[in-house]
Amino acid sequence: MQSYQNPQNTNPGFKKTSDVAKERKHLMRYCQEILNPNDKAVSHVRKEIRSRKELVEKKNKEMQSLQEEINDLNQQIIDLKREKNSLHVPKEKESLYRQLVAKVESQSDDCLISTSRRETLKKELVEMCKNSSKSCNSDATHSSPARSDPELTVLNRLSYKGPGERTYACDLGTFTKKLAGDCGISVNGHANEGIHKWEISYLPIDHEGWLLIGLQVNKSKCTSGSSYLEKETYGINIHNADYSSTCGYKYIGGHQSKHPSKIGAHKGEILTATLDCNTGTFSVEGKEFNTSINIPTGEKYYLHFNPGNASFRIVSHEIIS
């Protein structure tokens, strides 16, 4: 009896399935090399793109660090200017040099000054200096130092209304905004007489940079995060100076009114807010704007902020009169 043999085994052209798969894979790779001869170049370009992205990220961090350093330097300049302005220099002292020069120049140029005349001139100059020093001391004695109320520079955390603590941080006179959103906060104390001036550092966190600087009249705590709509609110809204808005907004008794020109400030800019209790006016001034609003007179005024898209810091407070 003849034994049965598999026909596949007797076919000299037969290949195993694994061999066919290997050959197919080899052919596919060959086709890929023919169709995509630049695979290595593409891979190289991808690596370069990744490298450039990492470099950009590194440079952005360096720029951020430099911006923080610039802000610190600007703050130092502001502090030094404030220190300079606090030093009272009387007009007599300021013009003393000119008086001395004029005294010397009044002498004849075409001949030497005699010994006796020189001694007389020296005595006159010394006497002028003594009189000037007396005048300076007298002015320093009678001049009143600038006054400030610490309660008007510290933010009242209990007055805050808005999203939770993950969206902001508050420390004394500094409010750090982490996430955009309406919120309201006021200072501890109130003003009800005289003229008050605050310096406020403006730090937008996005392109809009919304920061309302104003007052709440006879109200120490706002009712909601949308405090600009409350009838006790009088304020001026600041935008990022690079924002595309063509106008600004004021809030008077909770009602919005459009300002004809842009009210904008740059990152790190120092704004000056002035409250005149005598005339019933409140104003905010920056490098590129100066605008004011009327407020009710004879009331208690709480400095108020609605930092929707910006951080801020109360740099200083001064009672002018």
> In this structure, what is the dihedral angle of CA atoms 262, 233, 210, 205, given to the nearest 10 degrees?
140
Taking the domains of the chain in order of start, what are their residue ranges? 17-87, 91-142, 150-319
Would you give the DSSP letter of residue 263? -
Report the distance separating Cα 206 and Cα 73, nearest Å.
22
d(CA 305, CA 308): 9
Q: What's the CA gap between 40 and 4, in Å, rounded?
A: 54
Distance separating alpha carbons of residues 132 and 38, to the nearest angstrom: 86
Q: What is the pLDDT along the chain (321 residues), one digit of tens a residue?
A: 455 455 555 555 555 667 777 787 777 777 766 666 566 677 777 888 888 888 888 888 888 878 877 877 777 776 666 666 555 445 555 555 556 656 665 554 545 556 666 677 667 666 766 665 555 555 544 445 568 888 899 999 999 999 998 999 999 999 999 999 999 999 999 999 999 999 999 999 999 999 999 999 999 999 999 999 999 999 999 999 987 566 788 999 999 988 777 899 999 999 999 999 999 999 999 999 999 999 999 999 999 999 999 999 999 999 987
Instruction: Report the C-alpha gap between 316 and 285 in whole angstroms.
Output: 15
Beta bridge partners of residue 313, listed in sequence order: 174, 201
Q: How far apart are alpha carbons 218 and 232 in whole angstroms? A: 7
Residue whose C-alpha is closest to residue 311's, from 172, 169, 151, 188: 169
Distance CA 181, CA 310 (A): 10
- How far is it between the farthest Cα atoms of the chain? 159
CATH code given to domain 150-319: 2.60.120.920
Pairing of strands 248-252, 174-177: unpaired
Residues 312, 313, 316, 317, CA torsion sign: positive
